[in-house]
Amino acid sequence: MTPTILEILTKARSKLTGPEARLESELLLAETCGISRSYQGIHPDEELSEKHCLQFDSALKRRIAGEPLAYITGSRGFWDMDLKVSPEVLIPRPDTECLVEQALLRIPADAGWQIADLGTGSGAIALALARERPQCEITATDLSMAALVIAEENARLQGTKNISFAAGSWLQPIKSSLFEMIVCNPPYIPADDPHLKQGDLPAEPEHALISGSDGLDAIRQIIPDSVSHLKPGGFLLLEHAYDQARAVSRLLGHVGFKEIFTKKDYGGNDRVTGGKAD
């Protein structure tokens, strides 16, 4: 006899640690066996097939060994999308939706702006902006070819046509272009930060996380480079760590950005800082 849905979920919950154990068990079952969470709730006493038991057990073992849920299921929700992810890309975070919100507050609904998303990873920010502002043209760059393959696949899966992709370092592949807005969630963790050993971070690509000894190397490069790529009055918006707002504001001020602002994420931490080009 094989276990029921409730039995296998109860077993999984007891093996997974942390406050999310229940949700993670349900998501693992949903994603690995195609048994939705609502179905699980309505049919707790239904027996699983042998095949589903094996699939679930193998996914559970990977999770217990520390592999991020998103890499096991191959997807992560961001904005209103389910995005494909792999170990080649950062797992999109809810904090980054704060950057999308701040960008959308500044892009008029009918604008036909040119927008750059630097270090696009899975394409999360570029895709959210492209879908919310279909008349804008988004250019998304990344140094990682593997990330760009995932981002392009996500654009195809979402049926998004107003994004183009370019490989290279930050603005280098789009040297001759001018933008009304540049957005970026760069790597911003200091190389010796103990958080790098926690949660999903050990499994994520280092080049998506770490940026020098104080976490600001990428931001120090992107801010001055952006000046010559923004139209007058254009915006630069950057995601950063909770304790970097002051440094980022200072760097923006040094190269002449005006109307510098910082916004908090929903956890109450400073998360996005930006300004307007002269």
Ligand X SMILES: C[S@@+](CC[C@H](N)C(=O)[O-])C[C@H]1O[C@@H](n2cnc3c(N)ncnc32)[C@H](O)[C@@H]1O
Q: Which residues of the chain form contacts with ligand X (CB under 6 A)?
A: 89-90, 92, 96, 118-122, 124-125, 141-144, 147, 169-170, 185-187, 207-208
CB of 9 to ligand X, least distance (A): 30
CA atoms within 13 A on the CB side of 190: 8
CB of 213 to ligand X, least distance (A): 16
What residues does 166 pair with on adjacent strands? 141
Q: Measure the CA–CA gap between 209 and 3, rounded to whole angstroms.
A: 40
Q: Which is nearer to ligand X, 96 or 273 (CB)?
A: 96
CB of 42 to ligand X, least distance (A): 34
Q: How far is CA 146 from CA 44, 76, 79, 123, 174, in A?
A: 40, 17, 22, 12, 19
CB of 264 to ligand X, least distance (A): 17
Q: Which is nearer to ligand X, 37 or 195 (CB)?
A: 195
Q: Where does the chain have alpha helices with state H?
A: 5-15, 21-33, 37-42, 50-64, 69-73, 96-106, 124-132, 145-158, 217-227, 245-254
Q: Which is nearer to ligand X, 96 or 160 (CB)?
A: 96
